[in-house]
A and B are shown apart, each in its own frame.
Chain A
Amino acid sequence: MDILIYGIINSFSLALMAIGFTLVYGISRLPNFAHGALYVITGFGVWWFVHKLHLNYLVSILLALALMGMIGAAIYRFILIRVRGMATSEIIATYALGLAILEFLRWGGFKGMTYTLPVFIEGSVNIGGVPVDFQRMMVIGIGIVVVSFMWLFTHFNRTGLALRGMAQDEHAAMMLGIDSDRMAVIAMAMGSILAGLSAIVLLPLGNIVVEAGYNVLILSIAVCIVGGLGSWVGAILAAFMIGFLQIITVAYIQSHFQMVVALLAIIVTLILRPSGFFGKQKELEERV
């Protein structure tokens, strides 16, 4: 029973982390290797607002998310737009950016145990004999909200539909008047906000450490590959698959094997079904 509960929590955590990455890739074919950095920087941002500027917690959160959106947009508008189309350079640029941010934070003294964010609501509840604290329930709650929002947004909102069009066929979308650069800016902004949101929900469960940036990046990528790069439905399903696999390994083998699960998941997916187990099959069609 506890496997079920922890499995669900872990799965939603992974889904929240991964959805930002898969969004950006799905829409603009940009692998945002700075994803983990954006996660960590949101955490530190909120901490700084709360502890140094003494702002209200909720205000800090909203402010941080807004900032993340702007940062994401700025990253595309000023950096990525210049390397658009050159796959090699795109990869190097986001990688270097992520590295610069994370290592800067590390140098700036942001390491060790001293930085934490408070949980939203104290206390815990008992489900089926398993104590679950409210923060973890928030993970599930916010996870469901985000997933539903994504679905509604991309099916009913004009911008969302435009994003979906870009994801399916960039050229067709451009011919219909959808501006690819503008969509990319929106995608990056949303992806950054989602990264930040996952940080805000998950970081109170532990400490804010720079290492989390790399871990989040690996896990997000693992989930996205298994689910099919670019498919957010796939990412969610894959998050569940990996989430449960991780919890099961912790329960029956050893807790240290979590990373191994992620790595193996990537390798196995690439060997067996490179376009992802849950994504739309079109990804690896050869173009002629």
Chain B
Amino acid sequence: MDKVERRKERIDRGIKVRTEGIYAVSSWQEVAYLVLPRLVLIVGLLLLPLIIPPLFGPYWKRVISYAAIYGLLALGFDFLAHFVGLVSLGGAFFIGVGGYTAAILNISLGLSPLFTIPMATVGGAIICTLLLLPALPLRGVYFAIVTLMYPLALMRIIEALNIFGGTDGILGVAGFPNTWIEQYLIILIVIFALFGLRRLVNEDIGLVFRGVKDNDQSVRASGLSITLYKAIAVFIASGLGCLGGAYLAHIYMWSGISQFALDFSVIPIAATVIGGGGTLVGPLLGCFFLVPISEWLRTFGTLRIVFYSVILMAFIMFRSEGVMVFAQRKYHQFQRWVKV
């Protein structure tokens, strides 16, 4: 009995091919194919604050905002890791810098969140980029080391030197004038960040970032400074993180060293690996999945960090591509067994 050899073949779905050109707008089906996923995502996110609290209780309103903030970090991580080649092990660094900057601006200068948040975003991004600058011309592992170190070291330094409020943190930071603003502003920010980043990586400059990641010698030989483009990428990602941190400071109405906590470093990474690295939307959705679980697991103490770390490792070890990559592939292609 001959064994028939078969292999998997993946082909783009017909509708995907049809939607690649300008004629995509010629039929409702094709327009729907393109627009539907994005629409579902946006509408889903916008509806969350309306659906969740009545079902699960008012505590969960905050959780949505946390998930969104983590989402900003995850977007930054995915962007840096899969589009530029830099692994950032310290999301907590950005949150902490953003949070403290906003708190200080608020307390010392009396500025309202309307001003502190943008200022902390840009100012924090500048600070973070400058602090990370020494590692940028070097091999990737140095960037990972430095991002790992900064939150741990800064936490200990603030505690030891008792500056910026020391262990207690900075209290009395202003909150948002209205819970609806608090709820919806962050969701809108996240949506813009997602689609903005997606636009960015598809533009020409996205090609430069990818070159920096895959082929840096060629990029150098083409007259571009690797350090400059890495710095731009870090500025963008840290801006997102600092934005999240500033927002968080105003939600808590407080900023302290726990803003450098490990959750902020681990969850974005776990969300990216599980959600699908390189898709930008995968990590974001991963956060909306992991953060509620994290909150629910709070009763178990730091075991939850063990939980994500283990899942993270499992995904990496078994080379899983991530949920969204799998989903996108299914949406765009079908596979079948073909005789060899």
**Chain A residues within 8 Å of B, Cβ to Cβ:** 31, 33, 79, 82-83, 87-89, 91-93, 95-97, 99-100, 103-104, 106-107, 214-215, 217-218, 221-222, 225, 229, 256-260, 262-263, 266-267, 270-271, 274, 284, 286-288
Contact = CB atoms under 8 A, between A and B. Distances in A.
B157 interface: yes
Contacts of B270: 96
Interface string B99-131: 000000000000000000000000000000001
B269 A92 contact: yes
B317 A83 contact: yes
Nearest to B134: A270
Contacts of B157: 256, 259-260, 263
Nearest to B311: A96
25 contacts: A31-B141, A79-B313, A82-B317, A83-B316, A88-B85, A91-B144, A92-B316, A96-B270, A96-B313, A97-B313, A99-B309, A100-B313, A103-B302, A106-B302, A217-B148, A222-B149, A225-B142, A225-B145, A257-B160, A263-B150, A266-B146, A266-B149, A267-B131, A270-B142, A286-B217
Contacts of B302: 103-104, 106-107
A100 B307 CA distance: 8
Nearest to B277: A88
A47 B219 CA distance: 54
B139 A284 contact: yes
B301 A107 contact: yes
Given A256-B161, A257-B160, A262-B153, A31 B144 contact: yes
A35 to B, nearest CB: 12
Contact of A96 (B81, B161, B266, B318): B266
Given A31-B145, A83-B316, A96 B269 contact: yes
A214 B316 contact: no
B306 A274 contact: no
**Does more than half of chain A's interface fall in helix, strand or loop, or is it mixed?**
helix
Given A83-B316, A91-B89, A100 B309 contact: yes
Given A83-B316, A103-B303, A221 B145 contact: yes
A37 to B, nearest CB: 11
A270 B138 contact: yes
Contacts of B137: 274
Nearest to B313: A96
A33 B145 CA distance: 9
Nearest to A111: B302
A270 B135 contact: yes
B316 A103 contact: no
A34 to B, nearest CB: 10
A96 B309 contact: yes
B53 interface: no
Nearest to B85: A88
A122 B137 CA distance: 50
Given A96-B269, A103-B305, A270-B142, A259 B316 contact: no
B18 interface: no
Interface in B216-266: 217, 262, 266
A211 to B, nearest CB: 9
Q: Which 4 A-B pairs have the closest CB atoms?
A: A256-B160, A100-B309, A270-B134, A103-B305
Nearest to A108: B303
Nearest to B142: A270
Given A31-B141, A31-B145, A103-B309, 12 more contacts: A83-B316, A92-B87, A96-B269, A97-B313, A99-B262, A99-B266, A99-B306, A100-B306, A214-B152, A222-B149, A263-B153, A267-B134
Contact of A92 (B138, B145, B217, B273): B273
A103 B312 contact: no
A267 B157 CA distance: 15
Contacts of B161: 256-257, 260
Given A79-B317, A87-B140, A107-B302, A95 B148 contact: yes
A263 B149 contact: yes
B298 to A, nearest CB: 12
B250 to A, nearest CB: 28
A249 to B, nearest CB: 12
A274 B273 CA distance: 30
Given A92-B273, A93-B313, A103-B309, A259 B153 contact: yes
Contacts of B180: none
A250 to B, nearest CB: 12
B319 to A, nearest CB: 7
Given A93-B313, A95-B89, A270 B144 contact: no
A263 to B, nearest CB: 4
Nearest to A100: B309
B295 to A, nearest CB: 17
